[in-house]
């Protein structure tokens, strides 16, 4: 059987999903590099990034960001009881999702000029007209996103993670192709690439995978008894607008009030920040979620809490040191990736400063990715939605005040503060309802990781100062050298310190690094 058709266990699933996300993020960075090269941080690039505000809100109104997550437990239940009943339930959901997204997309297409003003209130009349044009190109992509999410849920239920991991890669590939082929027409080519990529990557690829990887049997089913239950579970995600799903839109909306280029600076910085979040946190959350849902469905609460605890601890063990090191190399990273063509030295300085602030909240992003899915595995979508919406509403005036006073810097600070507040709210609510078993040893373990990371960053900082190249004359070579040298230094020191001070946390990762990692663990064990 082909690899992409096989079922993966949680460890392999995390690697498959993480690898796919990593490749997708690199392609996304290449795409943004192309945008920065051709258009820099200008009004044209601002318009492209702002064009996603309304389509993304429509997607969120139908719980698009969490569609597969909410659907998986229901599919698992119905397919385990009776496969034919499972297909009837799936067909009913698929039918109504398709109808709903088509209606919303059609109305948004008609009122695009008015919606453009809501998406970017700080733009001029001429800029808003072009934004409405971009918006009308991108809007139909939401149909393929939502319908494709239904199909991906089937693949996740089957524990076939390979094709869902390829979706974003194909999507980004088409965006890049559209931007290159139609570059003479400004950012319009990238918008057409979004539409083509959503159809091919997000819809057609999962469709073919479901059909060939186990079969697809669509039945016309306008109503199924399970549809009402599903809507009740998904409704909080439709009504609620958690800060995790609107953060990117807030960055664009309030960025439009911070002057020309601010949306682009924030978008470029956020793109870099989301690389570790996606590769580590999203991979862990996506891979662990079907197993958490299955354990809770079986009422195996002991293993359920252990799985959550392990996922949280692994995510924090990776993201805390990674975020600290990335703060150190924020400027050379932006210089290496974006500083070229229309993207100048000043743009690099602005974007790097914003990136340093956004990176502070990376562990919070990872933390809520896992804990949020723990709530969903209990079929509790209401609690995260209520908490997320509450935090969002409370932070709106904070976003506005900080933006008015400090510009793009204030947007970044408000974004970081929002994720911390949401993570804290989820934690307190989980403890009040389910106890602290899922957090056993997490605070002390994260504290140890933070201390080891802080010690490891000192020699890494010294390594950046020892680079023999002058950034003024060899900016890219100097940036590359700073990243590589500091990364090697930080990685080696962190690994050695981890073996001796936090071996229980380092073991899951050193075991997978091959003979060297296992040798370090053996030496530590024999030495003790």
Task: Name the residue with higher pLDDT: 528 or 265.
Answer: 265
Buried b or exposed e, range 108-146, using 16+ CB within 10 angstroms: beeebeebbeebbebbeeebbebbbbbbbbbbbbbbbbb
Rounded Cα distance between 514 and 512, Å, is: 6
Cα within 13 Å of Cα(163), Cβ side: 31
Q: Which range has the worst mean pLDDT, 21-25, 292-296, 301-305, 332-336?
A: 21-25
Beta strands in 177-237, from DSSP E residues, in sequence order: none
Phi first, then psi: give them for residue 269, nearest 5 degrees: -65, -40
Rounded Cα distance between 495 and 139, Å, is: 47
The residue extents of the domains of the chain are 1-239, 240-438, 441-528
Q: Which range has the worst mean pLDDT, 45-59, 349-363, 485-499?
A: 45-59
Contacts of 502 (CB under 8 A, 6+ apart): 317, 445, 448, 449, 452
CA 485: distance to chain centroid?
A: 28
- 474 pLDDT band, cuts 50/70/90, is confident
Rounded Cα distance between 317 and 450, Å, is: 9
Q: Which range has the worst mean pLDDT, 343-352, 412-421, 464-473?
A: 464-473
pLDDT reported for residue 258:
85
Residue 342, CA distances (Å) to 252, 270, 347, 467 in order: 20, 19, 9, 27
Task: Name the residue with higher pLDDT: 521 or 93.
Answer: 93
Most confident of the ranges 47-56, 105-114, 467-476: 105-114
Task: Taking the CA atoms of 299, 427, 313 and 441 in sequence, report the sign of the dihedral they define.
Answer: negative
- Asked if residue 521 has pLDDT above 60, the reply is no
- Angle between helical axes of 43-50 and 243-255 (0-180°, round to 10): 150
Q: What's the count of helices (H) and strands (E) in the chain, helices before strands? A: 25, 0
Q: What is the pLDDT of residues 191-237, one digit of tens each?
A: 999 999 999 998 998 898 888 877 888 777 667 777 777 777 776 66
Q: What is the pLDDT of residues 393-441, one digit of tens each?
A: 899 999 999 999 999 999 999 999 999 999 999 999 999 999 999 999 8
Rounded Cα distance between 328 and 352, Å, is: 10
Integer-rounded Cα radius of gyration of the chain:
23
23 forms bridges with which residues in the sheet?
Answer: none
Q: What is the pLDDT of residues 487-498, one digit of tens each?
A: 999 988 998 888
Three-state SS annotation for 315-354 = HHHHHHHHHHHHHHCHHHHHHHHHCECCECHHHHHHHHHH
Q: What is the pLDDT of residues 277-320, one digit of tens each?
A: 877 776 666 667 777 877 888 888 898 998 899 889 888 988 99
Query: Do residues 415 and 356 make contact, with C-beta atoms less than 8 angstroms apart?
Result: no
pLDDT reported for residue 220:
72
Rounded Cα distance between 386 and 34, Å, is: 39
Query: Do residues 163 and 171 make contact, with C-beta atoms less than 8 angstroms apart?
Result: no
Q: Which residue pairs from 89-92 have beta carbons closer than 8 angstroms and sit at least 24 positions apart in sequence? A: 89/221, 89/224, 89/226, 89/227, 89/230, 90/150, 90/154, 90/218, 91/218, 91/219, 91/220, 91/221, 91/224, 92/221, 92/222, 92/223, 92/224, 92/226, 92/227
- Asked if residue 13 has pLDDT above 60, the reply is no
Rounded Cα distance between 394 and 424, Å, is: 14
Contacts of 405 (CB under 8 A, 6+ apart): none
Question: Averaged over 357-383, what is the pLDDT?
Answer: 88
Q: Tokens 């229980």 map to which residue?
A: 504
Rounded Cα distance between 373 and 379, Å, is: 9
Q: What is the DSSP secondary-structure string of 344-376?
A: -HHHHHHHHHHHHHHHTTHHHHHHHHHHHHHHH
pLDDT reported for residue 8:
44
Model-level pTM?
A: 0.74
CA 347: distance to chain centroid?
A: 24
């Amino acid at each position: 059987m082909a690899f992409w058709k096989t079922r993966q266990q949680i460890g392999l699933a995390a690697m498959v999903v993480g690898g796919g996300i990593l490749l997708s993020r690199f392609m996304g960075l290449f795409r943004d590099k192309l945008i920065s090269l051709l258009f820099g941080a200008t009004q044209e690039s601002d318009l492209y990034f702002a064009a996603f505000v309304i389509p993304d809100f429509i997607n969120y109104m139908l719980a698009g960001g969490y569609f597969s997550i909410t659907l998986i437990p229901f599919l698992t239940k119905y397919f385990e009881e009776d496969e034919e009943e499972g297909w009837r339930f799936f067909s009913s959901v698929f039918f109504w999702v398709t109808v709903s997204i088509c209606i919303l997309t059609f109305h948004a297409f008609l009122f695009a000029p008015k919606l453009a003003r809501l998406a970017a209130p700080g733009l001029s009349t001429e800029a808003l007209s072009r934004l409405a044009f971009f918006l009308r190109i991108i809007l139909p992509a939401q149909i393929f996103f939502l319908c494709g999410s239904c199909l991906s849920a089937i693949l996740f239920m089957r524990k076939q993670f390979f094709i869902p991991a390829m979706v974003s890669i194909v999507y980004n590939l088409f965006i890049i192709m559209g931007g290159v082929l139609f570059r003479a027409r400004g950012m319009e080519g990238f918008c057409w690439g979004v539409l083509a990529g959503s159809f091919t990557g997000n819809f057609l690829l999962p469709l073919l995978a479901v059909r060939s990887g186990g079969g697809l049997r669509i039945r016309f089913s306008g109503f199924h008894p399970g549809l009402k239950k599903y809507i009740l579970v998904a409704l909080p995600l439709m009504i609620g607008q958690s800060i995790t799903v609107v953060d990117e839109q807030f960055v664009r909306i309030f960025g439009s009030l911070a002057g020309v280029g601010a949306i682009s600076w924030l978008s470029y910085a956020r793109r870099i920040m989301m690389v570790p979040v996606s590769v580590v946190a999203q991979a862990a959350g996506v891979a662990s979620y079907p197993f958490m849902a299955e354990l809770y469905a079986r009422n195996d609460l002991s293993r359920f809490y252990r799985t959550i605890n392990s996922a949280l601890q692994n995510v924090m063990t990776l993201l805390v040191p990674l975020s600290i090191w990335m703060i150190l190399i924020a400027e050379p990273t932006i210089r290496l990736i974006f500083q070229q063509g229309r993207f100048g030295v000043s743009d690099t300085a602005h974007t790097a400063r914003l990136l340093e602030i956004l990176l502070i909240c990376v562990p919070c992003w990872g933390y809520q990715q896992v804990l949020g899915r723990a709530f969903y595995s209990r079929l509790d979508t209401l609690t995260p939605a209520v908490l997320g919406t509450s935090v969002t509403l409370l932070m709106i005036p904070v976003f506005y005040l900080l933006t008015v006073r400090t510009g793009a810097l204030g947007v970044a600070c408000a974004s970081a503060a929002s994720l911390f507040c949401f993570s804290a709210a989820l934690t307190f609510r989980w403890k009040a309802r389910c106890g602290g078993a899922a957090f056993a040893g997490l605070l002390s373990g994260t504290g140890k990781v933070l201390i080891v990371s802080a010690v490891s960053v000192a020699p890494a900082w010294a390594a950046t100062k020892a680079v023999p190249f002058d950034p003024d004359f060899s900016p890219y070579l100097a940036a590359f050298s700073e990243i590589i040298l500091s990364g090697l230094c930080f990685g080696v020191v962190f690994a050695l310190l981890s073996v001796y001070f936090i071996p229980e946390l380092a073991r899951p990762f050193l075991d997978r690094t091959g003979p060297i990692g296992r040798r370090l663990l053996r030496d530590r064990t024999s030495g003790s």
